[in-house]
Amino acid sequence: MILITGASGQLSSLIIAKAKELGLDFITASRALNADRQMDFDHIETLDFTGVDTIFLTSAGYAEDDIVIRRHNNVITAASTQGVKHIVYTSLSCASDHLGFALAHRWTERRLQESGMAWTILRNGLYAGLIGSLTSSCEGRITAPFGSEEISAVSREDLADAAVTVLKDTAAHNNKVYELSGVKSFSVPDIARRLSVHYEPTDLSTERSRLDTLQLLPFQVPMLMSIYASSMAGFLKTDSSDLTKLVPKPRDALAIACSVVTNA
């Protein structure tokens, strides 16, 4: 049996829907009351993996690094002592190593590889929808400081399809790492041209000052700033992706980003 964590998250919700369509044998787990098993990664005593062969571990990355590392360690420790055979983990693409939230992903990859269980690491690229949401247009202008370099963003739907492909036959993907960045990169100037708006990026200091006025958690500002800075420096583009090995016909990431900008 498969257990899918993070049942209320956007990516996990898509995976759950696709797994149902395929008739996979799975249950869900999260702190939400509608999950099949209520689990809290902060409390190892709540982690019940009875009858579970495979865990699909959705990163609990919405916190400071030490908290994320502790949560992931709790899951891996509990899984290894309760007879789980395989963990599939949603990590971060290698092109994203300069991002402020990469460290906990790399730590988790290493912990999995040393766990003694079989593992599959899905190194997901940044969501095309996220790039679109950070590229909001106001009065015919996009001012987010992405620079002009290309970004290998990917559809969340494609990542869900890739995940289900692995879950259909986990043994075929034992101890494999898949780089799942988008196969067709685009830049924020490309978004501006497609939407017929002006791209007039601010500098990083101006953007940080703007973010400081919003009601964000302390770790969120540096995370967002690292996305902008990495994009400006050209570190969010990759020339190789394994996406088509798992998803034969990837969706148009640029179109998805533009749609989010238009509907914001």
Q: Is the pLDDT of residue 63 over 90?
A: no
Query: Average of pLDDT values for 85-108?
Result: 94
CATH code that applies to domain 2-263: 3.40.50.720
Helix (H, G, I), strand (E, B) or coil at 40: coil
Confidence of residue 190 (pLDDT cuts 50, 70, 90): very high
Mean pLDDT of the chain: 94
Give the C-alpha separation, 156 to 163, whole Å: 11
In order of 9, 168, 231, 240, 258, the CA distances from 262 in angstroms are 23, 36, 21, 29, 6
The domain spans of the chain are: 2-263
Contact of 112 with 175, CB cutoff 8 Å: no
CA-nearest of 220, 241, 223, 221 to 95 is 241
Q: Is the pLDDT of residue 95 over 80?
A: yes
In one-letter notation, the amino acid at residue 222 is: P
Percent of the chain residues past pLDDT 70, beyond the cut: 100
Per-residue pLDDT tens digits for 114-125: 999 999 999 999
Confidence of residue 13 (pLDDT cuts 50, 70, 90): very high
Per-residue pLDDT tens digits for 221-253: 999 999 999 999 999 999 899 999 999 999 999
* pLDDT value at residue 241: 95
As to burial, measured by CB atoms within 10 angstroms (0-12 exposed, 13-18 middle, 19+ buried), residue 185 is buried
Per-residue pLDDT tens digits for 128-168: 999 999 998 777 899 999 999 999 999 999 999 999 999 99
